[in-house]
Amino acid sequence: MKRIVLTGGGTAGHVTPNIALLPKLKELNYDIHYIGSYEGIERKLIEEFQIPYYGISSGKLRRYFDPKNFTDPFKVVKGFSQARKLMKKLKPDVVFSKGGFVSVPVVLAAGRSKIPVIIHESDMTPGLANKLCIPASYKVCCNFPETLHYLPEEKAVLTGSPIRQELLNGNKLEALKFCNFTANKPVILIIGGSLGSTIVNDAIRLILPELLQKYQVIHLCGKGKIDPALTGTNGYIQFEYIKKELSDLFALADIVISRAGANAICELLALHKPNLLIPLSANASRGDQILNARSLERQGFSLVLEEEALTDRKLLESINKLYEDRYIFMDAMSKSGQTNSIELITNLIEQAVKESGHNTEE
Ligand SMILES: CC(=O)N[C@H]1[C@@H](OP(=O)(O)OP(=O)(O)OC[C@H]2O[C@@H](n3ccc(=O)[nH]c3=O)[C@H](O)[C@@H]2O)O[C@H](CO)[C@@H](O)[C@@H]1O
């Protein structure tokens, strides 16, 4: 049986694409193992799939000053030695990494053991973790054509991002029951990224009374970010994080307000959901969400409101405009060509296993 190790974590955006690959990998008869951090979101998300999970020590590699910069290198070194041991023990035929800091020691350890590694970069420009991993990789998958310019030509492959296929089969009625909403009022779904966004949450809660006159609101607000004062408000429901019901919530949503994380926007596009994107500002990141959002805006798929321009009036206006023009956005998205990312990536995985001649047909 062919054996694959998946890795990636830190935020859900580095885990959900791995989850999207699971059904196809199972169909191809892979023995699947996962390496993540001890306590990261990946542990919780992978738990329900009955895949052996190995926690390793993980530290963040920062380019800015933080007291943790003095302790994290030790964690990274420990993580590398744990990953080396796991590679020797598991002897996988191939490793697939969705990125995030925990993936770095895993990829480097696999490289040392001459195990082929395929990495995936979802953002427009490679993040620091993936940059460190590129030399040890066999192929680098990417989501945007623009990213090809930042990658070594012989390794880069434009695959798009794998999307959990169950998201396409949501049930609106189930979601109505789940949220206790009426069918007579439009629904807005708000996703502040996988960890939630305080800025988006505050902005929405400020205009909530006005929003609720016209819409019902499902708010995915992030861990620890529920506002207890709003619990029980008619037409408003908050969740920290939603797993299997997300497909139903998407089916119910007339419009979506979202951060511009790479996976979230791919899902919105695949589902043809009219969306308003509020990208994470360049002060808090390397600015990739702004590039993601502007790329979708240019193609006529999204409305964009940058944090710097975010006021309560502007937000309300943009939401109403999005709702009025929703069919225009849906039409544009329905004409966008979608790649079958799962197929492309699993083909690369199969190719890597074949070329390595590693452990096959045991
Ligand atoms: C703050 C930060 O570092 N953000 C980065 C992070 O975002 P983040 O982790 O938020 O990533 P994405 O928006 O790409 O993905 C979030 C994933 O979580 C899922 N989801 C979200 C909420 C929920 O309740 N349930 C649920 O299942 C979404 O459907 C999606 O599949 O990784 C992305 C991909 O590298 C980057 O583009 C973002 O810039």
Dump the DSSP string for 131-158: HHHGGG-SEEEESSGGGGGGS-TTTEEE
Task: Say how far apart CA 76 and CA 158 lie, in whole Å.
Answer: 30
Reported as a single tens digit per residue, the pLDDT across 317-331 is 999 999 999 999 999
Q: Which residue has the higher pLDDT, 60 or 77?
A: 77
Cβ atoms 230, 239 nearer than 8 A = no
Q: Provide CATH 3.40.50.2000 ranges for the chain.
A: 2-160+339-356, 166-334
Question: Looking at residues 33-53, what average pLDDT do you find?
Answer: 95
CATH homologous superfamily for the domain 166-334: Glycogen Phosphorylase B; (3.40.50.2000)
Indicate the pLDDT class of residue 243, thresholds 50, 70 and 90.
Answer: very high
Question: Looking at residues 28-57, what average pLDDT do you find?
Answer: 95
Q: Which pLDDT does position 9 carry in this prediction?
A: 94
CA of 354 to the centre of ligand 1 (A): 32
CB burial of residue 78 (10 Å; 0-12, 13-18, 19+): middle
What's the whole-model pTM score?
0.91
Task: Say how far apart CA 77 and CA 72 lie, in whole Å.
Answer: 9
Q: Which pLDDT does position 59 carry in this prediction?
A: 75
CA of 130 to the centre of ligand 1 (A): 17
- Single out the residue of 125, 163, 164 nearest to residue 145, CA to CA: 125
Task: Say how far apart CA 297 and CA 53 lie, in whole Å.
Answer: 39
Cβ atoms 280, 265 nearer than 8 A = no
Q: Angle between the 16-27 and 341-356 helix axes, to the nearest 10 degrees? A: 60
Tell whether the model's pLDDT for residue 171 goes beyond 50.
yes
**C-alpha 359: how far from chain center:** 31
Number of C-beta neighbours around residue 133 at 10 A: 25
Cβ atoms 40, 139 nearer than 8 A = no
- Single out the residue of 299, 322, 16 nearest to residue 167, CA to CA: 16
Number of C-beta neighbours around residue 258 at 10 A: 25
Question: Looking at residues 3-25, what average pLDDT do you find?
Answer: 96
Q: Percent of the chain, pLDDT > 90?
A: 83
Tell whether the model's pLDDT for residue 226 goes beyond 80.
yes
User: What single-letter amino acid sits at 188?
Assistant: I
Tell whether the model's pLDDT for residue 360 goes beyond 50.
no
DSSP state of 285: S
Is 194 flagged in the annotation as binding? Answer: yes
Is 159 flagged in the annotation as binding? Answer: no
| Atom number in ligand 1 closest to CA 258 | 13
What is the CB < 6 Å shell around ligand 1? 11-13, 16, 122-123, 191, 193-194, 220, 241-242, 246, 261-264, 267, 280, 285, 288-289
CA of 268 to the centre of ligand 1 (A): 12
- Single out the residue of 162, 151, 141 nearest to residue 263, CA to CA: 162
Q: CATH fold of 2-160+339-356, please?
A: Rossmann fold (3.40.50)
Is 13 flagged in the annotation as binding? Answer: yes
Tell whether the model's pLDDT for residue 274 goes beyond 60.
yes
Phi-psi region of 149 (alpha: psi -120 to 50; beta: other; left: phi over 0): alpha
Question: Looking at residues 205-214, what average pLDDT do you find?
Answer: 97
Tell whether the model's pLDDT for residue 75 goes beyond 90.
no
Indicate the pLDDT class of residue 58, thresholds 50, 70 and 90.
Answer: confident
Reported as a single tens digit per residue, the pLDDT across 83-107 is 999 999 999 999 999 999 999 999 9
Which of 209-223, 261-275, 283-297, 303-317 is the least confident region?
A: 283-297
Is 281 flagged in the annotation as binding? Answer: no
Number of C-beta neighbours around residue 309 at 10 A: 11
Q: Which pLDDT does position 307 carry in this prediction?
A: 93
The overall average pLDDT reported for the chain is 93
Q: Which pLDDT does position 63 carry in this prediction?
A: 55
Indicate the pLDDT class of residue 205, thresholds 50, 70 and 90.
Answer: very high
Using the structure block, give the residue that is written with the tokens 């939603």. Answer: 242
DSSP state of 280: P
Tell whether the model's pLDDT for residue 218 goes beyond 70.
yes
CA of 146 to the centre of ligand 1 (A): 20
Cβ atoms 108, 137 nearer than 8 A = no
Tell whether the model's pLDDT for residue 154 goes beyond 50.
yes
Tell whether the model's pLDDT for residue 172 goes beyond 80.
yes
Question: Looking at residues 3-24, what average pLDDT do you find?
Answer: 96
Cβ atoms 122, 262 nearer than 8 A = yes
Using the structure block, give the residue that is written with the tokens 């419009």. Answer: 255
Task: Say how far apart CA 354 and CA 361 lie, in whole Å.
Answer: 10
Reported as a single tens digit per residue, the pLDDT across 104-145 is 999 999 999 999 999 999 999 998 889 999 999 999 999 998
Cβ atoms 126, 150 nearer than 8 A = yes
| Atom number in ligand 1 closest to CA 264 | 13
> What residue owns the CA closest to ligand 1's atom 37?
261
Q: Which pLDDT does position 337 carry in this prediction?
A: 76
Number of C-beta neighbours around residue 233 at 10 A: 14
Is 164 flagged in the annotation as binding? Answer: yes
Q: Percent of the chain, pLDDT > 70?
A: 95
Intra-chain end-to-end CA distance of the chain, in Å: 6
Task: Say how far apart CA 179 and CA 135 lie, in whole Å.
Answer: 47
Indicate the pLDDT class of residue 282, thresholds 50, 70 and 90.
Answer: confident
